[in-house]
Structure 1
């Protein structure tokens, strides 16, 4: 089941007796459980009405026993279970015995006053298991994948709108460039910008540039972008700023290697007809990161990208063996790469 459909059903009061949640976007999983909690249990009753387990510490027998116990002083009960091995593909301590047949029986006849939620810490379920097959038959499996870039921008704008503010498109783009696709970090920064904008105010590019710091990985994204656009002066200015922040040149080289490698992969996958979403799954990247990487790679030939990667590998070796002073070595790489163009 899509997350949107599940959330719509919760809003309408159509709540299933159990859910299995999984996916890469932990922020959306948490948002789902928060909304489910708000719908089922009043804030003052949550100590009694929300019970938490983990399959690494508790057996399925204990979890099912709790699910089959009548709620105390509340009309319904929410049982939240962190899981890696029951529905997922992970492994847990052999000290905990999980009798999955007990859970299978429960899922066939769930307790009316309990909502049981398994939160799987992984991006996929073990499709071979009877538990997974039954949950899918009951349409109780909800996936939470990373949002595509366009939806992520819409989500930021709607979050600001819900607070009576307007996030200007250019400001949203700059926020993404600075923070990256981490929805938890984006939510916090968006809320901060909304407070700064004031009631009925607008979130502007200037406000983002003033209030939102740039993380190291996002700085490297930007550094790569400046190299790709042949703006060597800007690339150097950004590099000097990273040095002022005590960033280690060897670490920056490793991040540049990763980004240029992704550029090469995205270029090759694009030739094979992969969509951005498929590329994200293949490379283990967020769809927004794929979009940015594809834009950066447009002006480079595959041969030029391979040459840059070879040079970065050589620079990494020279830095680690003391053949070149680290800060100077990366500075020379930026100057040489910019002067040679994209090829």
Structure 2
């Protein structure tokens, strides 16, 4: 999930913040902004109180500032407070990082300096990174698609809520793999269900705004049954509402789905537990994948995966001027 170079986990880092144990310098980087944003929000809102922020908290942006300004701000002492906080967002746009080096060799104990990078870029190759690594460097990695459902379960549990596996899968299929989007949609559901602690599939459909009959989850069920008429109806519905069902998201979900069918087709002799581990799915859904593999064998799923990859490239404008509706037609031809 999310890790830190010296071995600290996201949970451990948050625990340190709970104890108000602060580092002089934080470097938050990696490809998953959700965890970095959570950490940054806490540093921004918890170290100093609101009354002190106007004098002792500065938020800068990599596109609009430079490393000399950052060093100058960091060297300033707090005014009538124990700490000052300097946060540099979009730090990947900074140039001349080596200007930071002298400060990083001897930072002020009264300054908490926070860098928030999107990705890593060339950061790790710099002399500055070696100095940053002496403090807290947290690298937040993307969660693999096959672990998204597990993350959703954990997020709900942390909030004190639960849903069944069908609900977890529907959230995953509807929201994609962007954790921030998933979290926001779950918060929207929680806000609307009152005192209940159990979230139903109907709640998810209603409050995320998913058509009960025509969505990617229902499309997968129709594919598993090889119900050509139902597949056609759902694809036609999605094609007529591309604003809420962009082809790029649908293809991403179907690609992940057909990868699981492809792996299932090649491992039909395995036990349900073994197969669940191989395809990265809950044992709850293994029966569905076995059923789908009876209609879509190893060779056929391989061709479908190639087709989905082609449609994905076309949806991004690679060697194609086709719109989403045209690509939905191509999708339908290749999966029925």
TM over 0.5, yes or no? yes
CA deviation profile, 1:69-106 (whole Å, cap 9, x unmatched)? 01234331111112455xxxxx66xxxx6261x42221
Range 46-55 or range 150-159, more displaced: 150-159
Work out the CA distance in 2 between the residues paired with 1:327 and 1:99. 45
Residue of structure 1 equivalent to 2:229: 233
Count matched residues.
294
Which residue of structure 2 aligns with residue 285 of structure 1? none
1:205 corresponds to 2:201: yes
Q: Are the counterparts in 1 of residues 44 and 85 from structure 2 also a CA contact under 8 Å?
A: yes
Equivalent residue in structure 2 for 1:76, among 73, 83, 95: 83
Give 1:16 shift.
0.5
Taking a change above 3 Å as real, the CA distance of residues 106 and 20 of structure 1, as seen in their structure-2 partners, is same
Match of 1:37 among 38, 44, 55: 44
1:266 and 1:75 map into 2 onto residues whose CA distance is 58
For 1:135-150, list aligned pairs within 5 A.
Answer: 135-136=132-133, 138-147=134-143, 148-149=147-148
Aligned residue in 1 for 2:163 = 168
**Structure 2 CA distance for aligned equivalents of residues 224 and 257 of structure 1:** 13
RMSD: 4.2
Q: How does 1:277-316 map to 2 (within 5 A)?
A: 299=293, 300-308=296-304
Distance 2:40 2:172 in 1: 25
Task: Quote the Cα distance in structure 1 between the aligned partners of 2:331 and 2:128.
Answer: 56
Secondary structure of the structure 2 residue equivalent to 1:203? coil
Please, which runs of 5 or more residues in structure 1 have no aligned partner?
A: 86-90, 272-288, 339-343
Could you tell me which residue of structure 2 aligns to residue 245 of structure 1? 241
1:186–1:308 CA distance, 2 compared to 1 (3 A): closer
Is 1:178 aligned to residue 178 of structure 2? no
Q: TM-score, normalised by structure 2?
A: 0.70
Q: CA deviation at 1:44?
A: 3.8
> How far is 1:21 from its partner?
0.5
Change in Cα spacing, 1:71 to 1:134, as seen in structure 2 (3 Å) is same
1:13 equivalenced with 2:20 (yes/no):
yes
Residue 159 of structure 1: CA displacement? 4.7
Residue of structure 2 in register with 1:120 after alignment? 117
Secondary structure of the equivalent of 2:154? helix
Does the 8 Å CA contact 1:82/1:120 hold for their aligned counterparts? yes
1:154 corresponds to which residue? 153
Match of 1:281 in 2: none
Secondary structure of the structure 2 residue equivalent to 1:127? helix
C-alpha change, 1:173 and 1:260, in structure 2 (3 Å) is closer
- Residue of structure 2 equivalent to 1:333: 333
Query: Please, what TM-score do these two structures have when normalized by structure 1?
Result: 0.69
* Stretches of structure 2 lacking an aligned partner (at least 5 in a row): 267-278, 315-319
